[in-house]
Amino acid sequence: MELDFESFKLYTKEAPVQILTEDYPSHEWPISGGWGYTQDEAVVIETDNGQLGVSLEYRFLEYRTYEEMIVFRPKEDRYAGFRFEREMQFLVSSGEAPNERQFDNVIMKVTCFKEADWNMLREDWKAHNGYAGDEEGRKAHMQLHESKKITFNITGWFDITKFYGHY
């Protein structure tokens, strides 16, 4: 299934840190900056702990995707069953000392389903007890599952200057 991902991008008057803090208060969001779609609107990671900074990059991309594909979508156009896998990550240096900035560009593979498809697949699986002892039924279910699956890549830009080199 092809999606127009430009229509999913978030353009908000509130900063990402405000939206994420309100929607996911159990997480700390030591960030500033933009939504990270480009280097110019990078998410600024506000920690000097490299391990925390890198895990925050991945968590930010996951939760930005939830905002794009669930929270900011009409109820009839929401997605579910998300899986995330890092595809690539690379460092980009910008500017010259002493104002040089370090950026991470992270690309993740996302797999999900339209919410209605996800619910239908889940109910079918439960109704047939996971197709225990029914290999043909299981095979048909998995083919349907694959036919409904949506896979795409997302990109996030992160200013990691504050924690760069602190691992």
pLDDT level of residue 1 (50, 70, 90 thresholds): low
pLDDT tens digits, residue range 94-105? 988 788 999 999
In a domain, 31, yes or no: yes
pTM: 0.91
In a domain, 77, yes or no: yes
In a domain, 118, yes or no: no
Cite the beta strand spans of the chain per DSSP E: 31-33, 43-45, 79-94, 101-114, 150-159
Domain count of the chain?
A: 1
Cα Rg for the chain, rounded, in angstroms? 19
In a domain, 21, yes or no: yes
pLDDT tens digits, residue range 120-149? 999 999 999 999 999 999 999 999 999 999
| Range of the structural domain that residue 65 is part of | 5-113+151-159
In a domain, 67, yes or no: yes
In a domain, 127, yes or no: no
Between residues 135 and 2, the one the model is more confident about: 135
